Amino acid sequence: MSKYSLDEFLSQTEQEDKGEGLFELETPHLLEVNLNGQIWAKAGSMVAYHGKIKFEREGILEQGLGSMFKKAISGEGASLMKANGQGTLYLADDGKKIIILDLQNESIYVNGNDLLALETTIKHDIKLMKRVSGMLAGGLFNIRCSGTGLIAITSHYEPLTLRVTPGKPIITDPNATVAWSGNLQPEFQTDVSFKTFIGRGSGESIQMRFQGDGFVIVQPYEEVYFQESH
């Protein structure tokens, strides 16, 4: 049989049940959810499903935030949907790499655009980043996930986790920052000379500064969340 035959393609790509539980990585870029009840998923992330599953879109930004922020934040990353029922659900987000994390009474902050799915046992709270004035664009919020259960986050290409230790702060580009440990509170700082040096145009370079004891996950890719301040 030719290695390029249709049968060979089907055997290489056919869905297989790995028996891993609620969340399974069907491929590095495709999450299989073996649904028997309810989960939260990023709005617009459904690729396919079978079984009896109902979807209900719900703006997570409706959790008590002012209309000013609702207006300022837009895009698919701003809302989750409930998937309810029994069946198999496939989720993906622009071909990004998917990471499943099993939280055990732990907490993690995830960039609002990089949270793909979570169990309903996980509490999720919207947190707005400080110093948003003059930087308003699509991704200024993050979501604090805490409790016990599974979450799935996404990264463009292979993520890198950096340890943050006392006396050794980590500085990151907000557009490349995926997630960080729940005990860290990043601060924003600006670096005019750095922005000028790398030739990205006028204005300030916005950076995130993490200090304390924890970790921060970055991706080798800059998603455009912040518009330049002028």
Among 20, 35, 8, 14, CA closest to 90: 35
Asked if 41 contacts 61 with a C-beta cutoff of 8 angstroms, the reply is no
Asked if 220 contacts 160 with a C-beta cutoff of 8 angstroms, the reply is yes
* Averaged pLDDT score across all residues of the chain: 81
Confidence band of 190 (pLDDT split at 50, 70, 90): confident
Average pLDDT over residues 89-107: 95
What percentage of the chain exceeds 90 in pLDDT?
54
**Dist CA 129 CA 131 (whole Å):** 7
Pairing of strands 206-210, 170-172: antiparallel
Among 130, 42, 115, CA closest to 82: 42
pTM beyond cutoff 0.85: no
What amino acid occupies position 221?
Y
**Dist CA 127 CA 193 (whole Å):** 29
Question: What pLDDT, in 10s, does the model give residues 45-83?
Answer: 999 999 999 999 765 455 555 444 444 444 434 578 999
Confidence band of 204 (pLDDT split at 50, 70, 90): low
Average pLDDT over residues 74-95: 83
Asked if 171 contacts 230 with a C-beta cutoff of 8 angstroms, the reply is no
Mapping DSSP onto H, E and C, the string for 198-217 reads CCCCCCCCEEEEECCCEEEE
Asked if 22 contacts 104 with a C-beta cutoff of 8 angstroms, the reply is no
Highest-confidence segment of 53-62, 81-90, 123-132: 81-90
Please say if the pLDDT value at position 99 is more than 90. yes
Strand partners for 144 = 109, 125
Domains of the chain plus CATH, in order, are 19-218 (3.60.160.10)
The pLDDT of residue 202 = 47
